[in-house]
Amino acid sequence: MRRRGQLVLVAAALVAVALAPVVIAYLQLGYHDDVTATADYGDPTAATVGALDRAVVPASTGIPGRYAWADRGAAVTAIRGELRPRIEHLRTARLDHGTVTAIRYNESAARRFRDANCPSGPDRQFGDCAADRGVVVQERLGRTHVLGVAVDVTTTTERGETTVTAVLRPVER
């Protein structure tokens, strides 16, 4: 009986010694000396533009029902007001990751979008378009419809600064 106990003890010691290199190798595979420097938070500029793009749909949904074409200035004010809380949140959302985000409406991009997407002449299907404070609206059956919201998104991180101009469209045409 005593021999059997010694044999079991020796076998356990051999197994432990044989497994030691495997355990050490396993632990080294996951080792990295600077994990926070390589943490992937994604592209913050793309994430901000995507969040704004998703916010434009609900912000513009009720505009045609509430605003006649004559009240398009009030409609632009309303959509900017609907987007304000989302923009304020996005400006500060990544501060804890060392990312500063600036979001501004881009009036010249809105005018270019209007010129490219609102044809004039007898063959057009809808009414006039207007670019007002970075928002492009169009008259359809006497009502104001939002076609796009032009913004500049500037993201500043420790690696540099990125600026993107985007026209966010509430509905794919």
Question: Which has more pLDDT, 18 or 103?
Answer: 103
**Residue of 94, 87, 96, 108 whose CA lies nearest to 153:** 87
CA distance 105 to 30: 45
- pTM, to two decimals: 0.71
Name the amino acid, one letter, at 28. Q
pLDDT digits (tens, 9 = 90+) for 32-75: 444 444 444 568 888 899 999 999 999 998 899 999 999 999 99
State the chain's mean pLDDT as an integer: 83
What integer is the mean pLDDT of 11-37? 61
Segments in the chain forming alpha helices (H):
2-29, 44-60, 63-66, 72-92, 107-117
Q: Which pLDDT score, from 0 to 100, does residue 78 have?
A: 96
pLDDT of residue 123: 67
49 half-sphere exposure, CB direction, 13 A CA radius: 19
